[in-house]
Protein backbone atom coordinates (compact mmCIF):
# COMPACT_ATOMS: atom_id res chain seq x y z
CA UNK A 1 0.00 0.00 0.00
CA UNK A 2 1.24 3.49 -0.83
CA UNK A 3 -0.07 6.78 0.53
CA UNK A 4 1.74 9.87 -0.74
CA UNK A 5 0.84 13.07 1.11
CA UNK A 6 2.66 16.30 0.19
CA UNK A 7 4.37 18.07 3.08
CA UNK A 8 6.18 21.39 3.33
CA UNK A 9 9.93 21.07 3.76
CA UNK A 10 10.25 22.94 7.07
CA UNK A 11 11.07 20.60 9.96
CA UNK A 12 8.44 20.68 12.68
CA UNK A 13 9.07 21.43 16.33
CA UNK A 14 8.07 17.82 17.10
CA UNK A 15 10.67 16.45 14.69
CA UNK A 16 13.28 18.74 16.21
CA UNK A 17 12.46 17.57 19.73
CA UNK A 18 12.82 13.89 18.85
CA UNK A 19 16.06 14.66 17.02
CA UNK A 20 17.39 16.37 20.15
CA UNK A 21 16.43 13.34 22.23
CA UNK A 22 18.21 10.97 19.84
CA UNK A 23 21.34 13.09 19.89
CA UNK A 24 21.37 12.94 23.70
CA UNK A 25 20.58 9.23 23.77
CA UNK A 26 17.43 10.04 25.71
CA UNK A 27 13.77 9.03 25.55
CA UNK A 28 10.79 11.36 25.70
CA UNK A 29 7.93 12.06 28.08
CA UNK A 30 4.67 13.26 26.54
CA UNK A 31 1.99 14.60 28.89
CA UNK A 32 -1.71 15.16 28.22
CA UNK A 33 -3.95 17.73 29.88
CA UNK A 34 -7.44 18.96 29.04
CA UNK A 35 -7.58 22.60 27.95
CA UNK A 36 -9.94 24.59 30.15
CA UNK A 37 -9.76 22.23 33.14
CA UNK A 38 -10.57 23.77 35.53
CA UNK A 39 -10.36 27.02 33.51
CA UNK A 40 -8.46 28.50 30.60
CA UNK A 41 -6.54 30.71 33.03
CA UNK A 42 -5.51 27.57 34.91
CA UNK A 43 -4.41 25.97 31.63
CA UNK A 44 -1.91 28.78 31.15
CA UNK A 45 -0.41 28.07 34.58
CA UNK A 46 -0.40 24.31 34.01
CA UNK A 47 1.29 24.53 30.62
CA UNK A 48 4.03 26.65 32.18
CA UNK A 49 4.37 24.06 34.96
CA UNK A 50 4.80 21.25 32.42
CA UNK A 51 7.45 23.29 30.64
CA UNK A 52 9.34 23.82 33.91
CA UNK A 53 9.06 20.11 34.68
CA UNK A 54 10.85 19.29 31.43
CA UNK A 55 8.03 17.64 29.46
CA UNK A 56 9.16 16.92 25.91
CA UNK A 57 5.80 17.20 24.12
CA UNK A 58 2.38 18.30 25.37
CA UNK A 59 -0.94 16.90 24.17
CA UNK A 60 -3.56 19.57 24.77
CA UNK A 61 -7.01 18.03 24.87
CA UNK A 62 -9.96 19.83 23.30
CA UNK A 63 -12.96 19.15 25.59
CA UNK A 64 -15.81 17.26 23.96
CA UNK A 65 -19.24 16.28 25.24
CA UNK A 66 -19.06 12.65 24.10
CA UNK A 67 -15.48 11.40 24.69
CA UNK A 68 -15.97 7.75 23.79
CA UNK A 69 -12.40 6.55 24.28
CA UNK A 70 -11.80 8.42 27.53
CA UNK A 71 -12.11 6.92 30.98
CA UNK A 72 -13.87 8.65 33.89
CA UNK A 73 -10.93 10.87 34.87
CA UNK A 74 -10.65 12.59 31.48
CA UNK A 75 -14.43 12.56 31.05
CA UNK A 76 -14.74 14.60 34.26
CA UNK A 77 -12.03 16.96 33.04
CA UNK A 78 -13.92 17.54 29.78
CA UNK A 79 -17.12 18.21 31.73
CA UNK A 80 -15.36 20.75 33.95
CA UNK A 81 -13.78 22.46 30.95
CA UNK A 82 -17.06 22.66 29.03
CA UNK A 83 -18.83 24.09 32.08
CA UNK A 84 -16.08 26.70 32.30
CA UNK A 85 -16.77 27.69 28.69
CA UNK A 86 -13.77 26.16 26.92
CA UNK A 87 -14.13 25.71 23.16
CA UNK A 88 -11.69 25.06 20.35
CA UNK A 89 -12.02 28.68 19.22
CA UNK A 90 -11.26 30.04 22.69
CA UNK A 91 -8.30 27.67 23.02
CA UNK A 92 -6.81 28.95 19.77
CA UNK A 93 -7.48 32.55 20.78
CA UNK A 94 -5.47 32.03 23.98
CA UNK A 95 -2.77 29.94 22.37
CA UNK A 96 -0.38 32.74 21.26
CA UNK A 97 -0.17 33.90 24.88
CA UNK A 98 0.55 30.36 26.08
CA UNK A 99 3.20 29.90 23.41
CA UNK A 100 5.17 32.84 24.81
CA UNK A 101 6.18 30.78 27.85
CA UNK A 102 6.11 27.21 26.47
CA UNK A 103 8.86 26.02 24.13
CA UNK A 104 7.80 22.37 24.13
CA UNK A 105 5.87 21.18 21.06
CA UNK A 106 2.10 21.20 21.62
CA UNK A 107 -0.25 18.85 19.78
CA UNK A 108 -4.01 19.43 19.84
CA UNK A 109 -5.69 16.18 20.94
CA UNK A 110 -9.31 16.18 19.82
CA UNK A 111 -12.24 14.19 18.60
CA UNK A 112 -12.96 14.92 14.97
CA UNK A 113 -16.34 16.60 15.51
CA UNK A 114 -14.97 19.86 17.01
CA UNK A 115 -12.37 20.05 14.24
CA UNK A 116 -14.98 19.49 11.53
CA UNK A 117 -17.33 22.07 13.06
CA UNK A 118 -14.50 24.61 13.12
CA UNK A 119 -13.60 23.83 9.50
CA UNK A 120 -10.44 21.89 8.64
CA UNK A 121 -8.92 24.53 6.37
CA UNK A 122 -9.66 27.30 8.86
CA UNK A 123 -8.32 25.15 11.68
CA UNK A 124 -5.08 24.51 9.82
CA UNK A 125 -4.55 28.22 9.11
CA UNK A 126 -5.43 29.38 12.62
CA UNK A 127 -3.55 26.62 14.44
CA UNK A 128 -0.38 27.17 12.42
CA UNK A 129 -0.56 30.93 12.86
CA UNK A 130 -0.95 30.78 16.64
CA UNK A 131 1.86 28.26 17.23
CA UNK A 132 0.22 24.83 17.40
CA UNK A 133 2.56 22.07 16.19
CA UNK A 134 0.13 19.36 15.14
CA UNK A 135 -3.20 17.65 15.65
CA UNK A 136 -4.27 14.19 16.76
CA UNK A 137 -7.88 13.42 15.83
CA UNK A 138 -8.53 10.43 18.05
CA UNK A 139 -11.57 9.02 16.23
CA UNK A 140 -10.60 9.85 12.64
CA UNK A 141 -10.10 6.68 10.62
CA UNK A 142 -6.89 6.62 8.58
CA UNK A 143 -8.95 5.30 5.66
CA UNK A 144 -10.91 8.59 5.59
CA UNK A 145 -8.13 11.02 6.47
CA UNK A 146 -6.19 11.85 3.30
CA UNK A 147 -7.84 15.25 2.64
CA UNK A 148 -7.44 16.18 6.31
CA UNK A 149 -3.77 15.21 6.25
CA UNK A 150 -3.09 17.11 3.02
CA UNK A 151 -4.68 20.24 4.49
CA UNK A 152 -2.72 20.14 7.74
CA UNK A 153 0.56 19.24 6.06
CA UNK A 154 0.15 22.20 3.71
CA UNK A 155 0.39 24.39 6.82
CA UNK A 156 3.33 22.39 8.23
CA UNK A 157 1.23 20.88 11.01
CA UNK A 158 2.04 17.35 12.10
CA UNK A 159 -0.70 14.74 11.91
CA UNK A 160 -0.49 12.02 14.57
CA UNK A 161 -2.51 8.82 14.24
CA UNK A 162 -3.24 5.99 16.65
CA UNK A 163 -2.59 2.27 16.33
CA UNK A 164 -3.77 -0.34 18.81
CA UNK A 165 -2.98 -3.97 19.63
CA UNK A 166 -5.90 -5.01 17.42
CA UNK A 167 -4.80 -2.97 14.37
CA UNK A 168 -4.26 -5.09 11.28
CA UNK A 169 -0.95 -4.81 9.45
CA UNK A 170 -2.72 -2.82 6.74
CA UNK A 171 -4.26 -0.40 9.24
CA UNK A 172 -0.95 -0.02 11.07
CA UNK A 173 0.89 0.74 7.84
CA UNK A 174 -1.68 3.28 6.74
CA UNK A 175 -1.67 5.04 10.14
CA UNK A 176 2.11 5.19 9.98
CA UNK A 177 2.19 6.60 6.45
CA UNK A 178 -0.33 9.31 7.31
CA UNK A 179 1.43 10.24 10.56
CA UNK A 180 4.16 12.81 10.90
CA UNK A 181 6.08 13.78 14.02
CA UNK A 182 5.44 10.44 15.70
CA UNK A 183 3.10 7.45 15.70
CA UNK A 184 1.01 6.93 18.83
CA UNK A 185 0.65 3.31 19.94
CA UNK A 186 -2.19 2.52 22.33
CA UNK A 187 -0.89 -0.01 24.85
CA UNK A 188 -4.24 -1.71 25.43
CA UNK A 189 -7.80 -1.78 24.13
CA UNK A 190 -10.56 0.02 26.02
CA UNK A 191 -10.66 3.52 27.48
CA UNK A 192 -7.98 5.69 29.02
CA UNK A 193 -7.13 5.36 32.69
CA UNK A 194 -4.43 4.60 35.22
CA UNK A 195 -3.22 0.98 35.44
CA UNK A 196 -0.97 -0.95 37.80
CA UNK A 197 1.23 -2.39 35.08
CA UNK A 198 2.25 -1.92 31.46
CA UNK A 199 0.30 -4.07 29.03
CA UNK A 200 2.09 -7.20 27.84
CA UNK A 201 1.13 -6.27 24.27
CA UNK A 202 3.57 -3.34 24.17
CA UNK A 203 6.76 -5.15 23.04
CA UNK A 204 4.95 -6.87 20.18
CA UNK A 205 3.22 -3.63 19.15
CA UNK A 206 6.48 -1.72 19.07
CA UNK A 207 8.17 -4.47 17.07
CA UNK A 208 5.31 -4.50 14.54
CA UNK A 209 5.39 -0.71 14.20
CA UNK A 210 9.18 -0.63 13.74
CA UNK A 211 8.71 -2.82 10.67
CA UNK A 212 6.28 -0.29 9.17
CA UNK A 213 7.85 3.11 9.89
CA UNK A 214 10.98 5.01 10.85
CA UNK A 215 8.91 7.57 12.76
CA UNK A 216 9.43 7.88 16.52
CA UNK A 217 7.00 5.68 18.46
CA UNK A 218 5.12 6.90 21.54
CA UNK A 219 3.20 4.50 23.78
CA UNK A 220 0.30 5.57 25.99
CA UNK A 221 -2.86 4.48 27.85
CA UNK A 222 -2.50 3.27 31.43
CA UNK A 223 0.95 4.71 32.24
CA UNK A 224 0.90 6.37 35.64
CA UNK A 225 4.14 5.63 37.53
CA UNK A 226 7.85 6.35 36.99
CA UNK A 227 8.68 2.66 36.67
CA UNK A 228 6.06 2.31 33.93
CA UNK A 229 7.47 5.35 32.13
CA UNK A 230 10.95 3.76 32.23
CA UNK A 231 9.61 0.40 31.07
CA UNK A 232 7.95 1.96 28.04
CA UNK A 233 10.94 4.16 27.25
CA UNK A 234 13.15 1.08 27.02
CA UNK A 235 10.96 -0.15 24.17
CA UNK A 236 9.70 3.00 22.43
CA UNK A 237 10.89 6.56 21.84
CA UNK A 238 8.49 8.19 24.30
CA UNK A 239 5.98 7.39 27.01
CA UNK A 240 2.63 9.19 27.17
CA UNK A 241 0.96 9.98 30.50
CA UNK A 242 -2.58 11.32 30.50
CA UNK A 243 -5.09 10.23 33.12
CA UNK A 244 -2.56 10.25 35.96
CA UNK A 245 -1.72 13.90 35.34
CA UNK A 246 -5.36 14.89 34.83
CA UNK A 247 -6.21 13.09 38.09
CA UNK A 248 -3.44 15.01 39.86
CA UNK A 249 -4.87 18.27 38.47
CA UNK A 250 -8.33 17.31 39.72
CA UNK A 251 -7.10 16.51 43.22
CA UNK A 252 -4.20 18.88 43.78
CA UNK A 253 -4.55 22.00 41.65
CA UNK A 254 -7.50 23.50 43.57
CA UNK A 255 -5.60 23.23 46.89
CA UNK A 256 -1.93 23.49 45.91
CA UNK A 257 -1.79 25.16 42.51
CA UNK A 258 0.37 24.44 39.48
CA UNK A 259 3.50 23.82 41.55
CA UNK A 260 2.00 20.52 42.75
CA UNK A 261 1.53 19.38 39.15
CA UNK A 262 5.09 20.39 38.32
CA UNK A 263 6.32 18.23 41.21
CA UNK A 264 4.13 15.32 40.11
CA UNK A 265 5.48 15.41 36.55
CA UNK A 266 9.05 15.66 37.83
CA UNK A 267 8.31 12.52 39.86
CA UNK A 268 7.15 10.77 36.71
CA UNK A 269 10.34 11.86 34.91
CA UNK A 270 12.82 11.27 37.70
CA UNK A 271 11.16 8.79 40.09
CA UNK A 272 11.48 10.90 43.24
CA UNK A 273 10.26 14.02 44.93
CA UNK A 274 6.70 14.52 43.86
CA UNK A 275 3.91 12.00 44.20
CA UNK A 276 2.88 12.38 47.83
CA UNK A 277 3.81 16.02 48.31
pLDDT above 90 covers a percentage of the chain that reads: 83
Query: For the segment 163-215, what is each residue's pLDDT rounded down to a tens digit?
Result: 999 999 999 999 999 999 999 999 765 444 344 456 678 999 999 999 999 99
The 10s digit of each residue's pLDDT in 51-62 is: 999 999 999 999
Q: What is the mean pLDDT of residues 214-241?
A: 95
- Given a cut of 50, whether residue 1 has pLDDT beyond it is no
CA distances from residue 56 to 16, 62, 101 in whole angstroms, order as listed: 11, 20, 14
Residue 174 contacts residue 142 (beta carbons within 8 Å): yes
The pLDDT > 70 percentage for the chain reads 90
Using CA atoms, how far apart are residues 206 and 210, in angstroms rounded to an integer? 6
Start-to-end CA distance of the chain, whole Å, equals 51
What average pLDDT does this structure show over 208-224?
94
Q: Domains plus CATH for the chain?
A: 13-270 (3.20.20.70)
pLDDT exceeds cutoff 80 at 145: yes
Q: Which residues are known to be catalytic?
A: 59, 70
Amino acid sequence: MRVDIPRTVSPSRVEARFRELRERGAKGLIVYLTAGDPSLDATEELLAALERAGVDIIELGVPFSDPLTDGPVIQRASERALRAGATLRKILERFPRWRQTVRAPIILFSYFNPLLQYGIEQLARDAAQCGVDGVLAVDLSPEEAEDYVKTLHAHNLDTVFLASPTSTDERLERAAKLSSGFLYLISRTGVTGERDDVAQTVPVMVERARRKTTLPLAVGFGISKPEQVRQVQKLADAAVVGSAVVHAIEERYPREGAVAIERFVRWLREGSGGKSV
